Structure 1
Amino acid sequence: MTDNTKIVNQLRALVLLTQTEEQVARTRVSQARTDAVRRELNQNADHAAERTRLITEQLRALGGVPDVVTPALGRLSAVLKATFEQAAPLEEALLTDLQLEHQLLDRATYVKALATKAELPKVEHLAERLITAHKATVEWLTVVLAEEALGGPAALMPTPLQRVAGTAARAANAPVRFVANRVNEVLDSAQQVRDEAGDRLGEVADKASSFTGAVRETLTVGRSAALRRAERIARREGNRDAADAARSAREELGDVTADELPIKGFDSMSTADAAKAAKALRSPHDINVVIRYEETHKNRSSVISAAQVALAAVAKEVVGVDS
């Protein structure tokens, strides 16, 4: 097999993968958390389309048969990928995106080496351009994943099905799970002391009955009210872990008071001052709380973007990416 044949085969593979990359970027646009991310994703998709055109040009110049099927395969691959992702959490979809970018980067690097040996400067220049683009995308996806790992809202939002598959399902179920766990704890305690104090069984039954009523109430009231009630019961019972879990779920929903925010006087700040204060935050938890609160209250895009910048800065530190 000649070097040119190897290059042609790799360029064909790159066309297919780049078509998929373009369609994935267009799919992700609807998941963008901010207008800035939405613009970036649209630009990424347009740039991927341009890269497909350039790769195809080089294929023709090298005598490669123009492939009218590959673009359709690329689009189909992206559609199938997006469909399968709906049953997986957002982080799994992003990891798959990252895998695609790494494959594009590795193939472009290989093409550069082949082109250097074959003395094809135009192909070598194209490969360098691809390498630069895919390195930037790998870095961006790595930071987005780090943002998600740090507990803050990433640049991309999960779809409704991904939300169910991921952390939001746990948040929604937190109050019911807490009450069920308390029932189990009470019953377990009753079993341990049953032989020593038979009259305790009546008390346990009363508690179990009251918690059963609490379960019914949890299922009928609003989610925010249920979380607040779960937190209140947990603190009253001295169950700090359960109380903290309920509060975390509230924070994830943006259901906190202004007094609970990490920025004092946040509600009374101007948009510019609120954005400046949000951008100065360095705790992923605090940034997350502010973003969720802002999204569910005033929803000022500049404030949310500033907080997102703060989270990205922390994420870059964690993964060792230069700002």
Structure 2
Amino acid sequence: MTDTLLKADTAKIVNQLRALVLLTRTEEQVARIRVGQARTEAVRRELTQNADHAAERTKAITEQLRVLGGVPDVVTPAVGRLAAFLKATLEQGEPLEEALLQDLSLEHQLLDRATYVKVLAEKAELPRVKALAERLITAHSATVEWLTVVLAEEALGGPAALQPTPFQRVAGGAVRVANAPVRFAANAVNEVLDTAQQRREEAGQKLGEVAGKATSFTDAVRETLTVGRSAALRRAERIARREGNTEAADAAKAAREELGDISAAELPIKGFDSLSTQDAIKAVKQLRTAHEVNVVIRYEETHKNRTAVVNATQTRLAALAKEAVGVDS
């Protein structure tokens, strides 16, 4: 390899390593921000470790920059922190899934750049840079897989490893409002709950129009019924079934399930309340659908809230999410 080509490849590597330092600093700060959104202590520890490992990778990349004659960038750490801060601030105005998709985009960029550096290092015969690139590829591949599974958990309707901030909950609701006639559905629910006999015909008509909009119905119920929600939802479900509005009744039941306002008899595991922690964990592992797992999670969190059982249900949901996205367990 000629000196000119070698210098050209080295210059490309230096440029990519500088970019990787900046992005890795951002990755570290994002991980530290996400610690506050961790749903369980296990996830909190994992995110803290991810942030610490990102800091170690930043140090290793910086060392290689020095070896290659790249001038250490004293501004990069501050820029990385600023980028993470801006990202965290801006994403408060969007649903959690959008924030996670941006996290995933960042990890893909880190993975793609590391792969590019590996090829450059092979060509330039720089074994230490190649080894570093392989280390980065392994780390970012694992994070891409983890984020993909978290997003799949969210898509399956379950409590993902990360929970939205209060602002993101509002943002998520705003998106649903923009995409569906929630206010109309809310009015329909209110009419069902108010003087059922007097408004039987009108309520029946409106509930029929709500059929097929179960998500919209559920969000409306959550918005309008804050006091005595369980009794109100059960009454709405009972009236809807009596009037033949099966889909609307199912939507009301889905709302109760999401809120944890169901009886033990409605759970997919018979005699769940009487099971010991270990037996409950064994039963959870046999659940076949995300819906069944979600119902048990909501019920357990609302009633007994046994840490081991909640963790087992979340592990089962993660396994189903991996199946959904084709990730090996």
2:9 corresponds to which letter in structure 1?
A: D
CA RMSD of aligned residues (A): 2.8
Partner of 2:283: 277
- Judging changes above 3 Å, is the alpha-carbon distance between structure 1 residues 133 and 240 closer, same or farther for their aligned structure 2 residues? same
Deviation at 1:67? Answer: 1.1
Partner of 1:55: 61
Tell whether the 8 Å contact from 1:175 to 1:230 is kept in structure 2 after alignment: no
Tell whether the 8 Å contact from 1:31 to 1:158 is kept in structure 2 after alignment: yes
Deviation at 1:296? Answer: 1.4
Map Cα deviations across residues 38-94 of structure 1 (whole Å, 9 max, x no partner): 111111111111101101111111111111111111111111111111121111111
| CA distance in 1: counterparts of 2:274 and 2:138, whole angstroms | 44
1:271 corresponds to which letter in structure 2?
A: T
2:136 corresponds to which letter in structure 1?
A: L
1:223 corresponds to which letter in structure 2?
A: R
**1:180 maps to 2:187:** yes
17, 23, 32: which one aligns with 1:17: 23
| CA distance in 1: counterparts of 2:184 and 2:304, whole angstroms | 31
1:151 aligned counterpart, secondary structure = coil
Partner of 1:265: 271
**1:8 maps to 2:14:** yes
Map Cα deviations across residues 216-268 of structure 1 (whole Å, 9 max, x no partner): xx657343343333323322322112211121111111111111111111111
Deviation at 1:184? Answer: 9.5
Tell whether the 8 Å contact from 1:178 to 1:230 is kept in structure 2 after alignment: no
Deviation at 1:134? Answer: 0.5
- Judging changes above 3 Å, is the alpha-carbon distance between structure 1 residues 57 and 293 closer, same or farther for their aligned structure 2 residues? same
- Judging changes above 3 Å, is the alpha-carbon distance between structure 1 residues 262 and 170 closer, same or farther for their aligned structure 2 residues? farther
Partner of 1:36: 42
279, 295, 307: which one aligns with 2:301: 295
Deviation at 1:16? Answer: 0.8
For 1:64-143, list aligned pairs within 5 A.
Answer: 64-143=70-149
**1:241 maps to 2:247:** yes
Partner of 2:232: 226
Deviation at 1:123? Answer: 0.6
- Identity of counterpart residues, as a percentage? 75
Tell whether the 8 Å contact from 2:37 to 2:163 is kept in structure 1 after alignment: yes
Map Cα deviations across residues 108-161 of structure 1 (whole Å, 9 max, x no partner): 000111111111111100000000000011111111111111122211111122
Tell whether the 8 Å contact from 1:179 to 1:230 is kept in structure 2 after alignment: no
- Return 5+ residue gaps in structure 1 as ranges: 186-202
| CA distance in 2: counterparts of 1:3 and 1:228, whole angstroms | 69
303, 318, 322: which one aligns with 2:324: 318
1:248 corresponds to which letter in structure 2?
A: A
Q: Structure with the greater relative contact order (CA < 8 A, sep ≥ 6): 1 or 2?
A: 1
2:156 corresponds to which letter in structure 1?
A: L
Tell whether the 8 Å contact from 2:284 to 2:312 is kept in structure 1 after alignment: yes
Comparing 268-277 with 124-133, greater Cα deviation is found at: 268-277
| CA distance in 1: counterparts of 2:274 and 2:307, whole angstroms | 17
**1:253 maps to 2:225:** no
- Judging changes above 3 Å, is the alpha-carbon distance between structure 1 residues 50 and 182 closer, same or farther for their aligned structure 2 residues? closer
2:93 aligned counterpart, secondary structure = coil
- Judging changes above 3 Å, is the alpha-carbon distance between structure 1 residues 121 and 153 closer, same or farther for their aligned structure 2 residues? same
1:157 aligned counterpart, secondary structure = coil
Partner of 1:308: 314
| CA distance in 2: counterparts of 1:174 and 1:299, whole angstroms | 35
| CA distance in 2: counterparts of 1:301 and 1:74, whole angstroms | 36
Comparing 234-243 with 65-74, greater Cα deviation is found at: 234-243
TM-score, normalised with respect to structure 1: 0.84
Deviation at 1:286? Answer: 0.4
162, 168, 171: which one aligns with 1:162: 168
